[in-house]
Amino acid sequence: MTATTETTAETMSRSVEFVSPMPGLAPYTAFTIEQLEGAAGLFALRAVDAEVRLFLWDPVSGDYPYSPEIPGDVLADIGAPDQGAAGLYVVANPSAEGVHINLRAPIVIHRESGRAVQVILDDQTQPIRALLGS
C-alpha cells in the first residue's frame, strides 16, 4: 500500500498499513495517523473501518531518551532499509495520574510507504507502563 498525505491548515493525515494486526486489534490493519493540533509529538492512530483509536507519541519530539534497536527482520517486514527510514512511536494512554507510555511495544512506521508493525521488544528493562515526565 502506498502512503497518501492530505494536508490542510489544521491537520496532516497519512495512511498506515500494518503488516499484521496489532495485538488486541485484529482484524484491523488499515489506519490513518494524524498529528494532534497543539500537542507536539502526539498523534491519533485511527482504524479506517472501525471506531478504533489509539494515541501515539513520538519520543524524539520530546527529547525523550528512548532509542531501542529495532531488529532487522522487523525493518525488512515493512520494507525499511535501515532504522533511519522508519518512524518510532509509542502508545500513549492518558489517565488521572498523567500520560503512560508503552516502551516495550513500539510502533514502527516506514516513512515513505506507510507500512507498519508493532514490535514487542526482548529488552525486559523497557517498561510496558511508564509515566511520561517522571
Share of the chain above pLDDT 90, in %: 75
How far apart are alpha carbons 43 and 79 in whole angstroms?
A: 23
> What are 109's three cell numbers?
512506521
Question: Please, what are the domains in the chain?
Answer: 5-131 (2.30.290.10)
pLDDT tens-digit series, residues 84-124? 999 999 999 989 999 999 999 999 999 999 999 999 999 88
Whether residue 26 is predicted with pLDDT greater than 70 in this model: the reply is yes
Nearest Cα neighbor of 42 from 85, 3, 91, 103 is 91
Question: Model's pTM, two decimal places?
Answer: 0.86
- Grouping H, G, I as helix, E, B as strand and the rest as coil, residue 56 is strand
Whether residue 12 is predicted with pLDDT greater than 70 in this model: the reply is no
Whether residue 72 is predicted with pLDDT greater than 60 in this model: the reply is yes
- Grouping H, G, I as helix, E, B as strand and the rest as coil, residue 130 is strand
> What are 75's three cell numbers?
525493518
How far apart are alpha carbons 11 and 26 in whole angstroms?
A: 27
**Peptide bond between residue 21 and the one before it cis (omega within 30 degrees of 0):** no
